Structure 1
């Protein structure tokens, strides 16, 4: 098979390219810019394009498929050439479906917790020696790639993204997968540049439920009333609600309670307990015993940038999290405070996405950081200009979060100086962003904070 990637440097695209190369396919690709880690990984596999840009001459009649990433524009000259030659053009979710349509498909959807829940299921299956394929939205410990596609595996676990499939196909990615087993973790409106109204966003999930294979299963979070109403309308599938797995928080860790036993965990927080419960249900469907599930979960360390421990000593602990939407911000801040209730929590988040920097969306952040002892919000006015949004002020942000003592910064150096000038004895620092606070290496910064206490 010969496959060409348009926008081969994307996070999932380059992983898919490497996965197909590992499968024995002949893979080529193009992109107008590729950065690390994609660049180094493609180069190591001999898949890095020789030159940046788009080259219609790469599109030849002997190609079996062209896969288009979201970074490509609809008028891309390579797309035009593929259309001219009648070569099949796929988005990556469409191609993943083509590769997995004869497998049992487990699809994890929802506004939050997709990556973590997917990675929990993957971790258990790997620990128990199950041969399976997968697609996940982050690099996970113990897995070389974010994508695996094989001929032998009878199961595939997929993180189901609700955002558009490609410039040519605006359907949500997870509408392609037609799961045998589906999870929806919850629905919380975000990314208003893609989904202008809440009704539009919710409809994506209602349609996803309709696309579950007849006789399939849906697990949904019982706390979401809108989702509950959607799920209970489904008549073609089996539906089961889930809530947080029974647990107890100790000064050292959080422990799962089951069969008069306790399983200590490396993760914590209510959302993670919900994720574990639904991962348990799905793994049971896939033939994993209770004993094997709990044994495997004991070693689960979490997904990258999802409550990821950066540094720790006997005085300070530093976490990084991807939280940026209101629901994620509130859940993550609450989870850390619950686990470290005897410590002073400094929660620092960056407004970085289109929605979070939109003046009309800011009000959704009200009371999302109420569990933090010290709450800090950062935004960069240049990012707002780049996204062509109307300016927002420090006063607007403070009012929107509904917290008089909220600290708001729009200069990264000033923010760093503030944090480095604090006393960090008996404190936890939680850094939350889908970006990096304008070029800060969060790992290095966390190391500096730890060193301040030594």
Structure 2
């Protein structure tokens, strides 16, 4: 097929373009800005546009379809030309569904943990030599691509998020996959710019459950009361498999899982990851991996990229970098580190970077999320807020929201560097949590402080 990608530089979009190019489809694309690693990946395969920008002349009747990325605007000139020509226009998830209609679709959803659960399942499959197709929302250690499409694989494993599909289709992505097998890890309000109320957000998961194919399977975290209620009250005729956090304990700095075959040491840690593991085990079993084989493989799983990633360790100190940014993730990550290192001082450093976290109304959701830490820092960038065209938020509002005595609120990267430089890191764990970069903080310089 001849396919054109509008906003080809996106993380998911460029991965799909590369995968289709590999399958001998004719691919073109445009974008107004393309950054690394997408830029080099596209350039290496001859798919990098000659110039940044939008060029309606690229849209011709010879195209079989146009794939529209979320980065584009509703009035994109290439999109308008495609509509004039009555070309078929797909969002990313729509096209992925078209490519996987004949496969068993396994979709991992939930407000938290979906990347880790997807990575766990994929690790187990690769460990046992099972070739499956997959779509990951973020890079995973040991996996060189975030998307694999083949003609041979019976299963496709998809990380399904609730963010809108495209500028002209605001349905959450995971509504479009129609899974045969699905998992939901839990519901914690996020994306306030898209779902202004908790009720509206919960409704998206209700719809997702209703879209599971009749007779399909839903694996769900029964410890989440909101989710449990949705599952118990659905009218969709599906098989339901609840899971919960398994028994485990921490011994000599390692998480030990208690199984029917005895105690099993793991590379990962934290209650939230033990819960993720339980869900991944159920899904793996539905994909043909028995319990013993799952445990054998999962012992070697080191975690998804950017999820509690250890970036430095000495005899007396450790630094973790974590993608946590929503309230539930911040709370889970901080608690996991404290549980793993009960005798060490925990310094938690959180960046408010997303639209939700910088919203004066939503920020109340962060109350007590850092209570497991001994010292706490919250960083935010007034410049970033201005760029997002958001109303300013005061230091007092942030301190009141977190309800954390001694909280340091910092609005300058240089000041953050100075504050860290003045701290005593003996017998300490420093936890950085953000989906951003703390305004360009040089973590290599931070390591030099230890």
Q: TM-score range by the shorter chain?
A: over 0.9
8 Å CA contact 2:124–2:297 kept in 1: the answer is yes
SS at 2:98's partner residue?
A: helix
Listed as ranges, the matches of 1:17-32 within 5 Å are: 17-32=17-32
Cα offset for 1:219? 1.1
Q: What are the Cα deviations for residues 401-432 of structure 1, in whole angstroms up to 9, with x where unaligned?
A: 11121111111111111112212111101000
Measure, in 1, the Cα distance between the counterparts of 2:198 and 2:15.
32
SS where residue 165 of structure 2 aligns? coil
Distance 2:152 2:183 in 1: 24
CA separation in 2, counterparts of 1:351 and 1:198?
A: 20
Q: Which residue of 2 aligns with 1:205?
A: 205
2:401 maps to 1:403: no
CA RMSD of aligned residues (A): 1.1
Instruction: Tell me what 2:369 maps to.
Output: 368
Point out the more displaced range, 152-161 or 234-243. Answer: 234-243
Name 1:338's counterpart in structure 2. 339
Q: State whether structure 2 residue 187 is matched by structure 1 residue 187.
A: yes
Distance 2:383 2:246 in 1: 43
The residue number in structure 1 matching 2:258 is 257
Q: Deviations over 1:123-157 (max 9, x none)?
A: 11111111111111111122221111111111000
1:3: Cα distance to partner?
1.2
| Residue deviations 1:301-331 (CA, integer Å, cap 9, x gap) | 1111111111112111111111111111111
Residues in 2 aligned to 1:211 and 1:174: alpha-carbon distance in whole angstroms: 9
SS in structure 1 of the partner of residue 52 of structure 2: coil
Q: Distance in 2 between matches of 1:62 and 1:150?
A: 25
The answer to whether the Cα contact below 8 Å between 2:67 and 2:89 also exists between their aligned partners in 1 is yes
* 8 Å CA contact 1:251, 1:339 repeated in 2: no
TM-score normalized with structure 2 length: 0.98
| SS of residue matched to 1:415 | helix
Q: Match for residue 228 of structure 1?
A: 228
Q: Deviations over 1:228-258 (max 9, x none)?
A: 1110113400112111122221123112221
Q: CA deviation at 1:397?
A: 0.8
d(CA) in 2 for partners of 1:190, 1:452: 35
Deviation at 1:118, TM superposition (A): 0.7
Cα distance in structure 2, aligned partners of 1:232 and 1:165: 28
Q: Counterpart in 1 of 2:378?
A: 377
Matches within 5 A, 1:297-316: 297-316=298-317
Using the size of structure 1 for normalisation, the TM-score is: 0.97
**Which residue does 1:452 correspond to in 2?**
449
Moved over 3 A (4+): none
Q: Which residue of 1 aligns with 2:169?
A: 169
> How far 1:86 sits from its partner (Å)?
2.2
Aligned counterpart, 1:83:
83
Q: C-alpha offsets along residues 258-310 of structure 1, whole Å, 9 cap, x if unaligned?
A: 12422221111111001100100111111112222111111111111111111
Alignment pair present for 1:295 and 2:296: yes
Q: Provide the rounded CA distance (Å) in 1 between the counterparts of 2:78 and 2:144.
A: 30
1:156-213 CA distances to partner (integer Å, 9 max, x unpaired)? Answer: 0001110110011111100000111111111111121111111110000001000001
Is the CA contact 1:19–1:145 (under 8 Å) kept in the aligned structure 2? no
Q: State the shift of 1:452 in Å.
A: 3.1
Residue 149 of structure 1: aligned partner: 149
Structure 1 alignment gaps of length 5 or more: none
| Preserved CA contact (<8 Å) 1:111 1:188 | yes
- Alignment-derived partner of residue 420 in structure 1: 421
The answer as to whether partners of 2:417 and 2:441 remain within 8 angstroms in 1 is no
Q: Distance in 2 between matches of 1:149 and 1:416?
A: 44
Distance in 1 between the 2:426 and 2:24 partners? 54
SS at match of 2:170: coil
The answer to whether structure 1 residue 41 and structure 2 residue 41 are counterparts is: yes
Does the CA-based 8 Å contact 1:319-1:431 persist in structure 2? yes
Q: CA offset at residue 101 of structure 1?
A: 1.0
Partner residue in 1 for 2:51:
51
The answer to whether the Cα contact below 8 Å between 2:134 and 2:156 also exists between their aligned partners in 1 is: yes
Partner of 2:123: 123
Determine if contact 1:246/1:256 at 8 Å carries over to the other structure. Answer: yes
Q: 5 Å matches for 1:313-332?
A: 313-332=314-333
Secondary structure in 2 matching 1:165: strand
Q: CA deviation at 1:68?
A: 0.5
Q: Secondary structure at the match of 1:73?
A: coil
